[in-house]
Amino acid sequence: MKLKDLLETNIAEFGEYPFLFYKEKTYTNVETKQYADQFARGLRNLGIAKGDRVIVCMPNCPEVLFAYQGITRAGATIVPVMFTLHPNELHYIARNSGAKAVITSSALRSNVECSLEGLPAKPQLIVVDLPSDERAKNFYELFVPAENQLDDGGNSDDKAVILYTSGTTGNPKGVLLTHKNLYSNAENSAKHNVTQRGTTLGVLPLAHVYGLTISNICFLTGSSIVIFSKFDTKEVFKAIERYKVQTFSAVPAMIHALVSYPHADQYNTSSLESVGTGSAPLPVALLHAFEQKFGAKVYEGYGLSEAAPVVTAHRKGIEIKPGSVGIPIPGVELKIVDENGKEVQAGEVGELIVRGDSVTPGYYQNSEETSRVLKDSWLFTGDMARIDDDGYVYIVDRKKDLIIRGGFNVYPRDVEEILNAHEQVFEAAVVGVPDERMGEEMVACVVKKTGAQVTVEELIHYCQEHLAKNKTPRRIVFLEALPRNGVGKILKTHLRKQASEIVIKP
C-alpha cells in the first residue's frame, strides 16, 4: 500500500464527509482528493518526475495535506520542513535533498527565497496564497483538471518522505521513510488504539512525523481534523466544545499549557475521553494533573522518526503505568541490549532497539550514519530504557544525555521527575556540564511558576529529601524558559551550552 491509497480507501469505505476544518472553511475528503489529483498533474507539468524531492515549508493549513497527497500522486518524495527553521538550516536541507520545488506561504516567502540563494540549481518556488509572478507560481494556478489520477509506476518500497532531524549534534540527517514504513505504522497504530471515528484536533505540526502519522490515521479511521496553524490554548478549548472532541494527540508542552490555562472551566470538555502524547518525556506529575482536572486519560507513547514513528503506546483497555510509555504496537519487535548488543534481563537498563516494517531503510546520502544505527535489520535508537515483567517500556533517557558523575551513571529524567513535582516549579530539565573534579556535574535548569519565591537552596534541600546523594544536583539555575524545537521538545544541546556559560554558585 502507498500513501495515496490512504485517501482512496477512505473515500471507498466512508463516502464523502467533512474531512478538514480550518478557521471557517470546510473541505471534504472527496475535495481533498480532487485538489491532490489536480496538483499532482501541475507538478508533472513543472517537470517534477518520479523520485524528485519537493519541500513543503509552512504552518499547518489544508494546503499542506493537499500538497502531501499531490506530491505522492506525482510519484515524488515529500520533504516536510518546520517553518520555524533558520534560512541557513533550510538552505542545507534544500541543498542536501536536491529539492526540485519548495511550497510555502506568503509570510515565509522572503525567508525561503533567502535560503535558496547560492544553490547549484534553484528549486521552483510555489506559494499557496499569492498570485504567480516572475519568481514564484501560485499553488492553485498550477492545478490541471483531470478525470483520472496519475499512475506513478511506484511501489510500497519507494521513498515517500525524507524527514530531517533537528540537527542537535551537527547538520540534520534526512531520515528516509518508504510508503510501507508510514502506511504500516499508521495502520498498526490505529489497530493498537482501536480509534473511534470522530473529530480530532490537528495541533501537532504536519511537518513533524508525529503530526503526519496522526493525519494518516484519520484517513484509515474515517475521522475529521480541525487544523490549527499554531497551538492556541483558548482555541483548542473552543474546538473541543464545538466539535465534541473525544481524543487528540499532543506533546507534553501542550498538555502543560492546557492544565495551566486559567479559564479552562469556562468550556465544556466533558466529551474528552483521552489524549495521546509522545515526542518528549511526560512528567508523571503533569499526567496526574491533567487527568484530575479534565477527567480524561493520558496515553503516553514512544516513537522516533526512524521508526515512522510509533513504537509503543498505552491504550484503552490496558493498565496505565505512569512513567511508562506503554507496550509495543502490533508489527513492532523490540528488546533492550547492553553495549555489546546482548539482550539484558527484564528490569535492567540498556539501549532500546527496534525491528519491523516501519523501520527506516537509512539516512539520505549518509551511509556512515545508516550503518551506525542499523545492524542486522535492528534500529539502535540511542534511547536508554528498561522493560518490566508485563512488557511495559520505560524510557530512562537519551544515551547521549546520560551524566557520568564521579564514575556513577545519573539519568536526568530521575531528577527532572522530582523537580517537576515541586509545587513552585513550572518545569525543569537537567543536563551535565564538564567538571574538573567529577568529570561531569549536574545542572538543573528550572523555570519557576509565576510569582514563585523558591530559592536554589530550598530546591537542593528538596532534592536531597527525595533522591540518593549522587543524584542530587549541586547546581541549579533559574531560567525564563527552556529552549525547544518546533514540536516542543527541549533542546538539551542548547541547554548544556547555556548552562555552561552561566556562572553558577555550587
- At what angle are helices 209-221 and 179-193 packed, to 10 degrees? 70
Whether the link from the prior residue into 309 is cis, omega within 30° of 0, is yes
**Assigned C-alpha cell, 297:** 486519560
Higher pLDDT, 485 or 17: 17
**Mean per-residue pLDDT over the chain, rounded:** 93
CA 331 to chain centre: 20
Question: What is the DSSP secondary structure assignment for residue 343, as one 8-state letter?
Answer: B
C-alpha pair distances (Å), 433 with each of 10, 168, 439, 443, 471: 51, 16, 9, 7, 14
Tell me how crowded residue 340 is: count the other CB atoms within 10 A of its CB: 6
Is the pLDDT at 170 greater than 90, yes or no? no
Higher pLDDT, 253 or 151: 253
The helix/strand/coil state of 20 is strand
- Per-residue model confidence (pLDDT) at position 167: 54
Q: Which CATH superfamily is domain 231-398 in?
A: ANL, N-terminal domain (3.40.50.12780)
What is the maximum alpha-carbon separation in the chain?
72
**Cβ(377)–Cβ(355) below 8 Å:** yes
202 vs 221: CA distance, rounded Å: 15
Where exactly are the structural domains of the chain? 3-144+151-179, 231-398, 402-501
What residue ranges in 408-486 does DSSP mark as E strands? 408-410, 425-435, 439-448, 475-478
Structure confidence by residue, pLDDT tens digits, 338-370 = 999 999 999 999 999 999 999 999 999 999 999
* Encoded amino acid at 22, one letter: Y
Question: What is the DSSP secondary structure assignment for residue 268, as one 8-state letter?
Answer: -
| Burial label, 191 (beta-carbon count in 10 A; 0-12, 13-18, 19+) | middle
Looking up cell 539501549 gives 351
Please name the residues in contact with 471: beta carbons below 8 A apart, sequence gap of 6 or more. Answer: 410, 414, 415, 463
- Which residue in 179, 127, 146 sits closest to 42, CA to CA? 146
Cα torsion through 188, 194, 197, 203, rounded to 10? -70
- Per-residue model confidence (pLDDT) at position 506: 43
Please name the residues in contact with 153: beta carbons below 8 A apart, sequence gap of 6 or more. Answer: 50, 75
- Which residue in 410, 447, 411 sits closest to 428, CA to CA? 447
- Which residue in 186, 477, 439, 127 sits closest to 310, CA to CA? 186
Tell me how crowded residue 490 is: count the other CB atoms within 10 A of its CB: 21
- Per-residue model confidence (pLDDT) at position 438: 82
Structure confidence by residue, pLDDT tens digits, 105-128 = 999 999 999 999 999 999 999 999
Tell me how crowded residue 353 is: count the other CB atoms within 10 A of its CB: 24
Helices (H) then strands (E): counts for the chain: 14, 27
The helix/strand/coil state of 216 is helix
475 vs 480: CA distance, rounded Å: 17
**Cβ(341)–Cβ(392) below 8 Å:** no
**Assigned C-alpha cell, 75:** 510519484
Helix (H) or strand (E) holding 211: helix 209-221
Looking up cell 498538555 gives 255
318 vs 329: CA distance, rounded Å: 13
Tell me how crowded residue 319 is: count the other CB atoms within 10 A of its CB: 10
**Assigned C-alpha cell, 166:** 533537528
Region 177-186: what's the mean pLDDT? 97
Which pTM was predicted? Answer: 0.89
**Cβ(86)–Cβ(76) below 8 Å:** no
**Cβ(206)–Cβ(58) below 8 Å:** no
- Per-residue model confidence (pLDDT) at position 332: 97
The listed range with the strongest mean pLDDT (8-22, 151-165, 181-195, 427-441) is 8-22
Is the pLDDT at 409 greater than 90, yes or no? no
Q: Quick one: what percent of the chain has pLDDT higher than 90? A: 83
Out of 3.90.110.10, 3.40.50.12780, 3.40.50.150, 3.20.20.140, which CATH number does the structure's domain 3-144+151-179 have? Answer: 3.40.50.12780
**Cβ(411)–Cβ(432) below 8 Å:** no
The three state secondary structure string of 47-65 is CCCCCCEEEECCCCCHHHH
**Assigned C-alpha cell, 353:** 532497539
Structure confidence by residue, pLDDT tens digits, 137-164 = 999 999 999 777 787 768 999 999 999 9
Higher pLDDT, 44 or 504: 44
The CATH-assigned architecture of domain 402-501 is 2-Layer Sandwich (3.30)
Got the DSSP string for 67-100? HHHHHHHTT-EEEE--TTS-HHHHHHHHHHHT-S
Is the pLDDT at 30 greater than 80, yes or no? yes
Domain pair 231-398 / 402-501, same fold: no
Is the pLDDT at 274 greater than 60, yes or no? yes
- Per-residue model confidence (pLDDT) at position 504: 44
500 vs 477: CA distance, rounded Å: 11
Structure confidence by residue, pLDDT tens digits, 414-469 = 999 999 999 999 999 999 988 877 888 899 999 999 999 999 999 999 999 999 88
389 vs 376: CA distance, rounded Å: 26
Region 97-102: what's the mean pLDDT? 98
